[in-house]
Amino acid sequence: MLLLQLLINGIQVGALYGLTAVGFSLIFGSTKIFHFAHGSAFAIAAYVFYYLYSVTAAHWLVAALAAAVAAVLFGILLDRLVYAPIQRHEGSFFTVFVASFGVGIVVQNVLGMVFGRSFVAVSTPLSRSVEIFSGVFVSPLAGIAILCVALFFGGLQLFLMRTHIGMALRALSENTELVRVFGLRPRQLSTYAFALGSLLVVPAAILTAAGSGINPAIGHHVMLISLAATIVGGVGSLRGAACAGLLLGLAENLALWVFEPQWSEAVTFIVLFLFILFRPSGFFGRAVTS
C-alpha cells in the first residue's frame, strides 16, 4: 500500500512539475533564451494568490486571475526590458543567463522582505486527504491538480496547432531565420512565448501554495526541476518536458520507498546528470551537437 501511495503522490507532484516545465520549455524552445527567472514567475504568482486570497480574503477567482496577470506581466516585462536590450547588443548565452539569474535573486529577496522568509500556506480544506481505501490517502487538491494539468496542456496543444500565433511559435522553435523570411517578427513572437509560458506556471503555483506551502526560495527549486525536466525530456519537445516532469515527480517519491529521504532531491539530479552525460537530447529532443 505504501508503494501505491507513493505512486499517487508522485503523479500529483509530477503533474505540476510537468506543467511548469512545459512553460519553461516553450519559452526556451522558441526563443532560445535561458529564462532562469521562470521560477520567479512561479513565486510571484503564488504569493499574489496567497496575499489576495488568504490575507485580504478576496474571492479565489479574483485572486487566481490577479496571479495570472502578475505572472504574465512579469514575463512580458522581463522580455521587453531585460532580454530585448541584451539581445540587441550581443545576446550571448552567457549574458542572457546571468541577467535572468540576477532577476531571480532580486525577486527572491524582495519577496522575502515583503512576506518574510518563513513558509506560508493558503489554508483550505481542499488540502486535507481522505482515505479512499486502506492506507491510501488522496486530497481533493490532487484531483484538481491533475484536472488542471490536463486542461491546460490540452488548451496549449489546441493553441499551438490551431492558431496563427501558435503555429508561428512552433515555427520559431524549429527555425528562427526561416520565420523572418516569412515576414514574421521573432521579437514580437518571443513576447507571446513569454506570456504563454508564464501563464502556464499559474495553476501549479496556486496549487503548491495551497498544498505544501511556499517560501521565497521556492522559485529556485521550481526552476531546477523545470530545467531538469526540459533537458531530460528533450529541448524543443513540449511533450518531452511534460513526461519528464511527471517522471521526475515519480522518481522523487518512489525513491522514498527504497532510500532515506535525504537522497530524494539528489536522485532527481543524478537522473539529470546521467542524461546529460549519455543522452543529452533527452527522450524526444533533437540531437544535440556539442
Q: Applying CB under 8 A, which of residues 5, 65, 66, 159 lies at the interface with other proteins?
A: 5
Buried b / exposed e across 135-145, counting CB within 10 Å, b at 16+? eeebbebbebb
**Binding span for other proteins by CB under 8 A among 56-64, 119-127, 150-158, 165-173:** 119-127
By the 10 Å C-beta count (0-12 exposed, 13-18 middle, 19+ buried), 2 is classed as exposed
- Residue 123 as a binder of other proteins (CB under 8 A): the answer is yes
Asked if 119 interacts with other proteins (CB under 8 A), we say yes
Binding residues among 86-115 for other proteins as defined by CB under 8 A: 86, 89-90, 92-99, 101-106, 108-110, 112-113
Helices (H), the chain: 2-31, 38-50, 60-78, 84-89, 93-115, 140-162, 164-174, 176-181, 186-211, 218-233, 238-258, 263-278
- Report the distance separating Cα 251 and Cα 228, nearest Å: 12
Q: Is 259 among the residues that bind other proteins (CB under 8 A)?
A: no
Distance CA(260)–CA(242), nearest Å, equals: 27
Widest Cα–Cα separation across the chain: 62
Within 10-39, which residues bind other proteins (CB under 8 A)? Answer: 13, 28, 34
Q: Tell the residue number behind the cell numbers 502578475, with chain if given.
A: 70
Residue closer to other proteins, measured from CB, 59 or 128: 128
- Residue 85 binding other proteins, by CB under 8 A: yes
Residue 237 touches other proteins, criterion: CB under 8 A: no
User: Which of residues 147, 151, 158, 269 is near other proteins by CB under 8 A?
Assistant: 269
What is the footprint of other proteins within residues 53-82 (CB under 8 A)?
Answer: 82
Stretch that binds other proteins, among 43-51, 163-171, 192-200, 206-214 (CB under 8 A): 206-214
CB of 161 to other proteins, least distance (A): 27
Give the span between the Cα atoms of 58 and 11, in whole angstroms.
30
Q: In 10 A of CB 159, how many CB atoms?
A: 14
Candidate ranges 48-56, 131-139, 184-192, 236-244; the one touching other proteins (CB under 8 A): 131-139
- Which CB sits closer to other proteins, 90 or 177? 90
What are the residues whose beta carbons fall under 8 Å from the beta carbon of 138, sequence distance 6 or more?
8, 129, 130, 132
Which of 22, 227, 238, 241 is the binder for other proteins (CB under 8 A)? 227
Residue range at the interface with other proteins (CB under 8 A); choices 51-59, 168-176, 194-202, 253-261: 253-261
**Per CB under 8 A, 215 contacts other proteins:** yes
Contacts of 184 (CB under 8 A, 6+ apart): 168, 171, 172
